[in-house]
A and B are shown apart, each in its own frame.
Chain A
Amino acid sequence: MKKNRRLIHFQLSYTWAIATCLLLIGCSTDEDISLREKSIIYCSEGSPESFNPQTVTSGTTIDAIANQLYNRLITYNTEDNSIVPAIAKSWHVTRDGKKVTFYLRKDIPFHQTRYFTPTRGLNADDVLFSFNRILDKESKYHQVVAGNFPYFQNVNFGGLVNKIEKINDYTVRFSLNYPDASFLAHLASTYAVILSKEYADQLSLASNEKQIDQLPIGTGPYKYQEYKTGSLIRYYKHPDYWQETNDAQQVVFDITPNNSGRLAKLLAGECDLVAYPIAHQPIINNPNLTLESVTSLNVAYLGFNTAKPPFNNKMVRRAVAHAINKKAIIDAVYFGRAEAATSVLPQSSWAYDNSLTHHMYDPELAKQLLTQAGYPNGLTIDVWAMPVRRAYNPDALTMAKLIQSDLQQIGISVNIISYEWVTFLRRLSKGEHQSVLLGWSADHPDPDNFFSPLLSCASAETGSNRAFWCNQAFDDILSDALSTTNPNQRKAFYSQAMAIVKEEIPLFPIAHSKRYQGKANYISGKSLDAFGGIHLGNIQRNVEGGE
C-alpha cells in the first residue's frame, strides 16, 4: 500500500510541474523588451559550405555570408547596377585599361570576436593578402583550400592579373596582363571580399590556417558568433561598423530546407524573412506579410555530364532536349511566372540574341534521335534534382518528375536522385552524376558571367561546369568577347557562342525566373539584389510593428 501511495504522489507532483510550466507561459514578460524583438531571423533554404565567399559559388552560401560578414573594394549600386565605392573610396583606370589604382578608406575596423582581437583597421596589406591568397600558388592560404577558388578560376583571374602593388598604406594598384571588360565587375562581385591579414598571421603562428574559412573575420555589419551544422548560423552586431546599419542585436539564419516548413515559420511568425517561399498566395493574402521580388539574371537548366555515357553522345542529348515539354514545366513548377529559356543568357541581358529558337518539343523526333544514337529500346538514366529552392528553380523535384514522365514517352526511364545540399554539391563537382537539374544566378551583369563559369574549359576543371564540357572553339570566342569593350562586337561573339551551345547541348536551358522573398511587414528596407546575395544590414526591424 505504501508503494502505491508513493506512485500516486509521484503522479501528482508531475501534474504540478506541468501546471507550473503552463502558468509560466503567461507570466514571463518580466524583461522590458524580448530578445526576439532585438533579433532578426532569416529562414534560409540550405547550409553554407564555408564562411569565405572566395572559396564557393553556391548562392545559398553567398546569401548567408557574403554581405553579412564582409565588404569588397567596390560594390554595385542596388538601383541601377552601376559600380560604386565601398572599401575603396575611389579608383582610377589608366587609358590602356591595364592599371587600376584603388584609394582605400581609413576608418574600417575588423570584427572583434572571442577568437580574434584586431589591433588595427583595414589597410592595403589586407587587400594584398586577400587577393594574393588567390593568385600566389606558394601561399599557405592558397594551399589550405587546395587552390580552390572556383569563381576566380572560372574567370581566369590568375591569367588576367599580373601583379598587385602596395603604393602606400591606403593605396593599391592592380596591373593587368591585358585589358578586360569585366575586371571591375569581378572585384565588385560578392566573391572578392577583403580578409584580415593580421588574423591570418595569427593563425599561421598557430599553424591553423584552415580556421580562416571556418571562423571568419571580416569588416561587414555582423560578426560571427556560432554555427550549428545544418541548423542555424548566429551573427552578432558589429558595433563599430563603418556604414549605417540597423540596431538588431543579432541576426540568426534559421536553416530550414523543408519548403513548406519554411513558409509555415513565416506564417506563424517564427521568421522575419523567408527565402524562396513555396507558395505566394498565402503571403499576398496575409495583411501582416509582404512578398518581395527582384528580377534577377539567372537560368535553370538540365546539365548533361558529357564526360561519361550515355550523355557523351550528342544524339542522346538532342533526343532528351526534344522530349522535354518546357511549357508544362513552366506551368507546373513556376506557376506560369517564368520565361522559357532558349539559351543560358536571359532575354533581359543586352547581349541576348533575339533570333535564337527553342528546341521544339517533339517526342517523335526525339524517339528517332534516340534510335540513331544506338538506343532503339530506350535506356535508364539518373537525373539529380537539387534539394533546395533557388530563384531559378523553385522545385527541382517536381521538375524532375515532369521530365521523368516526358522521357518515359520516348522509352527513357529516369531515376531521380537527391542528397542534402552540401553533399549534393560535393558529389556533383566530382562528376558522379549523369545529368543534373541545376541553375545559375549571375554574380554581375556582364554576359560573360553566364558563359565562363558554366561552360568554359577552365570551369570544367574546377567542377563548376557541371556538364564537364570543353570546347576549344567556344572558349576562343569567349576570350575574344572579353578582349574588346565594343558592345556590338561583344554581342556578335556571344551570338556565336550561344549558337554553339544550341548545337552541342552540353546543357538544356529551361527557364529564367524572378527571385522571391517573403517578409513580415515590420521589416523595412531592401535586402534583395539582382546580383549576389542578400543584404541583411540594409533592413530595419520596427519594434512597434510587433509580432
Chain B
Amino acid sequence: MARDKIYLEEEFPSPIVQFWLEFRKLSIVNVAFVSFLVLVFIAIFSPILAPYSPTDSHIDSLLMPPSWNNEGSVSFLLGTDQLGRDILSRLLHGTSLTFGLSFVVVVISLVVGVVIGSFSALTKGVKSSVLNHLLDVVLSIPSLLLAIIIVAILGPGIENTIWAIVMVLIPQFVHVTRNAIKEEYKKDYVLASKLDGANNFRILTYSIFPNILEKIVTQATFAQSAAIIDIAALGFLGLGAPIPMPEWGAMLSDGIDLFYIAPWTIYFPGMAIFIAVLITNLVGEGIRHSIKEVKEN
C-alpha cells in the first residue's frame, strides 16, 4: 500500500536515485544500458537461447553462408563454420566466455585491488615509496603485454587467461584506491571521526569508502572494456581459450584461414567483440558522466 504523504516535505532523492535520474537523461546511454542488460541476459541463459550446442558439427552443412544469402538456410541463421558448427550458437555461448568472464575478472580484481590499495594507503615511508615505484613499473608495462607474459608462464588456457588478466588489472585498482584514500584522508571529516576515536578500519569502511566509490566504479568501467579486449586478443593469438571453445577472439582466429571463402566466420565474431566493447564503453561513459553531474550539483 502506498503511504500517504502526511507532511508537505520536499523530497530529496538519495545519491543513487540522483545518479539514476541523471543517467536516464542520456538517450544513447539508455540504449547502451538496455543492450548491456541483454548481453548479461544472453551470457547467463546462452545454453537455453542457443539453437545448437557450440561444438556440434553438422557434417552435411559445412560453411553455410548466413540465412539471408541465397545459399543460406534458416536453420543456421548466421551460417556455419568449416566444421559445420552453427555460428549463432557459438556466438551466444561465447557471450558467457568473452563478456561474462570479463565481468568475473573485474569483480575479482576489484575486490583484491581495493583491499591491497586500502592497506597500502595506510603505510608510509620507505615501504610506501618502494610500492609506489613498483606500481609505476607495473603500470608502465602495457596490460596486454603483461597478460601475454603471465600466460607464457602459466601456459595457455582459459583459466590462466583469467588469472593473467586479473593480475594485470589489480595494480590499476590498487593505484586508484590508494590515491583516492590518501586524498580523502587529508579531509576534515576524516579528522573529525578520528577525533571521535574511530580506528582505521572504521574510518575506512564508514567514512572513506562511500566517498571513493565513484572512483572505483569509474575504474571498473574502464577495466571491463579492457578485459573484454584482452580476453579476445589472447584468444585471437591462440593463447587463451583452447580450440573447441567458442570464445569470440578464438573464433575470429579460427576463421582467418577461411576469410576468402567464408568471410562471415570473421565478420560476426569481430562484430560481437566490437559491439560488446562499444556497449561497455558507452555505459561506462554514462556512469562517469552521471557521477560527475551528481557531484557538480
Do these two chains interact? yes
Query: Is the CB–CB distance between B62 and A331 below 8 Å?
Result: yes
Bitwise interface map of A from 386 to 413 toward B, beta carbon under 8 Å scored 1, else 0:
0000000001001001101100000000
Q: How far is the CB of B82 from chain A (nearest CB, A)?
A: 6
Query: Is the CB–CB distance between A401 and B260 below 8 Å?
Result: no
Is B8 part of the contact surface with A, judged by Cβ < 8 Å?
no
Is B259 part of the contact surface with A, judged by Cβ < 8 Å?
yes
Is B139 part of the contact surface with A, judged by Cβ < 8 Å?
no
C-alpha gap A331/B59 in the complex (Å): 8
Q: Which of A279, A327, A402, A416 contacts B261 (CB 8 A)?
A: A279
C-alpha gap A416/B84 in the complex (Å): 20
Is A332 part of the contact surface with B, judged by Cβ < 8 Å?
yes
Is B111 part of the contact surface with A, judged by Cβ < 8 Å?
no
Is A338 part of the contact surface with B, judged by Cβ < 8 Å?
no
Query: Is the CB–CB distance between A401 and B244 below 8 Å?
Result: yes
Residues of A close to B257: CB separation below 8 A: 259-260, 278, 395, 398
Is B204 part of the contact surface with A, judged by Cβ < 8 Å?
no
Question: Do A281 and B57 form a contact, CB below 8 Å, given A260-B256, A332-B84?
Answer: no
C-alpha gap A483/B258 in the complex (Å): 48
Q: Which of B55, B83, B260 contacts A278 (CB 8 A)?
A: B260
Q: How far is the CB of B288 from chain A (nearest CB, A)?
A: 31
Query: Is the CB–CB distance between A402 and B260 below 8 Å?
Result: no
Closest residue of A by beta carbon distance from B266: A260
Q: How far is the CB of A545 from chain B (nearest CB, A)?
A: 23
Q: Which of A267, A395, A398, A404 contacts B260 (CB 8 A)?
A: A267
Is B149 part of the contact surface with A, judged by Cβ < 8 Å?
no
Q: How far is the CB of B145 from chain A (nearest CB, A)?
A: 22
Q: How far is the CB of A407 from chain B (nearest CB, A)?
A: 12
Q: How far is the CB of A382 from chain B (nearest CB, A)?
A: 14
Q: Which of A267, A398, A405 contacts B82 (CB 8 A)?
A: A398
Q: How far is the CB of B37 from chain A (nearest CB, A)?
A: 34
Closest residue of B by beta carbon distance from A325: B59
* Chain B interface extent, by class: 10 to 19
C-alpha gap A281/B244 in the complex (Å): 27
Residues of B close to A507: CB separation below 8 A: none
C-alpha gap A401/B85 in the complex (Å): 12
C-alpha gap A224/B140 in the complex (Å): 46
For window 261-302 of A, CB contacts with B under 8 Å fall at 263-264, 267, 278-279, 281-282
C-alpha gap A267/B259 in the complex (Å): 13
Query: Is the CB–CB distance between A398 and B243 below 8 Å?
Result: no
Bitwise interface map of A from 503 to 527 toward B, beta carbon under 8 Å scored 1, else 0:
0000000000000000000000000
Is A470 part of the contact surface with B, judged by Cβ < 8 Å?
no
Question: Do A405 and B261 form a contact, CB below 8 Å, given A331-B62, A332-B82, A332-B83?
Answer: no
Closest residue of A by beta carbon distance from B60: A331
Query: How many A residues touch B, CB cutoff 8 Å?
Result: 21
Residues of A close to B243: CB separation below 8 A: 401, 404, 416
Residues of A close to B256: CB separation below 8 A: 260
Tell me which of B83, B84, B244 has the highest count of chain A C-beta atoms within 10 A of its own C-beta.
Answer: B83
For window 53-94 of B, CB contacts with A under 8 Å fall at 55, 57, 59, 62, 82-84
Residues of B close to A84: CB separation below 8 A: none
C-alpha gap A405/B259 in the complex (Å): 23
Q: Which of B59, B83, B259 contacts A398 (CB 8 A)?
A: B83
Residues of A close to B259: CB separation below 8 A: 260
Q: How far is the CB of A35 from chain B (nearest CB, A)?
A: 28
C-alpha gap A325/B62 in the complex (Å): 15
Residues of B close to A328: CB separation below 8 A: 57, 59
Bitwise interface map of B from 37 to 61 toward A, beta carbon under 8 Å scored 1, else 0:
0000000000000000001010100
Closest residue of B by beta carbon distance from A414: B243
Closest residue of B by beta carbon distance from A398: B82
Q: How far is the CB of A213 from chain B (nearest CB, A)?
A: 33
Residues of A close to B59: CB separation below 8 A: 325, 327-328, 331-332
Bitwise interface map of A from 339 to 364 toward B, beta carbon under 8 Å scored 1, else 0:
00000000000000000000000000
Bitwise interface map of B from 232 to 259 toward A, beta carbon under 8 Å scored 1, else 0:
0000000000011000000000001111
Query: Is the CB–CB distance between A282 and B261 below 8 Å?
Result: yes
Query: Is the CB–CB distance between A279 and B258 below 8 Å?
Result: yes
Q: How far is the CB of B266 from chain A (nearest CB, A)?
A: 10
Residues of A close to B82: CB separation below 8 A: 332, 398
Query: Is the CB–CB distance between B260 and A279 below 8 Å?
Result: yes
C-alpha gap A404/B244 in the complex (Å): 9
Q: How far is the CB of B61 from chain A (nearest CB, A)?
A: 10
Closest residue of B by beta carbon distance from A400: B243
C-alpha gap A332/B59 in the complex (Å): 8
C-alpha gap A327/B59 in the complex (Å): 9
C-alpha gap A404/B84 in the complex (Å): 15
Residues of B close to A331: CB separation below 8 A: 59, 62
Query: Is the CB–CB distance between A401 and B83 below 8 Å?
Result: yes
The 9 tightest CB contacts between A and B, nearest first, are A279-B261, A279-B260, A282-B260, A328-B59, A259-B257, A260-B256, A260-B257, A260-B259, A278-B257
Enumerate 20 A-B pairs (CB-CB under 8 Å) in ascending A order: A260-B256, A260-B257, A260-B259, A260-B260, A263-B260, A278-B257, A281-B261, A282-B260, A325-B59, A327-B59, A328-B57, A331-B59, A331-B62, A332-B57, A332-B62, A395-B257, A398-B83, A402-B57, A405-B83, A416-B243
Q: A264-B260, A332-B82, A405-B83 are in contact. List 8 more A-B contacts (CB 8 A).
A: A260-B256, A279-B258, A281-B261, A328-B57, A332-B59, A332-B84, A398-B257, A404-B243
